[in-house]
Amino acid sequence: MTDAEGVRLQKVLANAGVASRRVVEQYIVEGRIRVNGKTVTELGTRIDPEHDLVDVDGTAVQLDVSKRYVMLNKPTGVVSSMRDEQGRPDLRQFTKDWPERLYNVGRLDADTSGLLILTNDGELAHVLAHPSFGVTKVYIAKVEGAVTAQTIAKLTRGIELEDGPIKADKARLLDASTGSATHGRAASLVELTLHSGRNRIVRRMMAAVGHPVIELVRRQFGPLHLGTLPAGKTRELTKIERGALLTLARQDSPADAGTDDKQETT
């Protein structure tokens, strides 16, 4: 691209809602903006908004306004598919009001509720859903029995499953007295942080330490938090959330990213 081609950087970022052109020019002079990973300090810089990647203070900027990013609090009983061959409730009911054709990033099994991303950004969806990329997820599990500190330590130290060892990045006991569970046993609330993409991994981990899951919800996916979004509701990601998600997706994935293309089902 020659200097006469493309669009001035300050115009592109002003149109993207970063700041006014004058403020963006100040950012450029201060060296706070990078284009394709290289710091730009020339006010006359022009870019191709369709292909160039821009970040401000290390946070990615969404330049392609045709891309849509939506958060769903998936209720239980819904499968993470746009069309279920068995006729079960699927994700189409949550995407029909959006003009774009949206798809889910990764999966949650029918019995698991919580944060699911819907988008028409296929490249982002592929990267974030890939187990090898290791996006951190936080779950709250209501489990059978009274979980002890020793059990929490075992989860973070590591346990052996039929498909190999696994350990939680973090684990903590939220409540060991949540009332009666099945068969009259006590129940506990456990928070687990994982980056694994193995199928039903939270349920299998908790069963392995003697505390089968009663209810499971995903509260966090990478930089995104479910917050107070009610079950069955959707909302668009904020500009800050989109920036954080795009920043995560633009990071180089591990060298073994092509070794396992299974999407998670938690």
Catalytic (active-site) positions: 109
Cβ atoms 253, 96 nearer than 8 A: no
C-alpha torsion sign, points 21, 22, 23, 29: positive
Distance CA 263, CA 116 (A): 13
Helix axis angle for 122-129 and 239-250, nearest 10°, is: 70
How far apart (Å, rounded) are the C-alpha atoms in residues 159 and 149?
Answer: 15
Please state, in angstroms and rounded to a whole number, the distance separating the CA atoms of residues 171 and 150. 11
Phi, psi of 12 (to 5 degrees): -60, -45
Distance CA 252, CA 112 (A): 30
Please say whether the beta carbons of 243 and 61 come within 8 A: yes
Distance between CA 261 and CA 202 in Å, rounded? 19
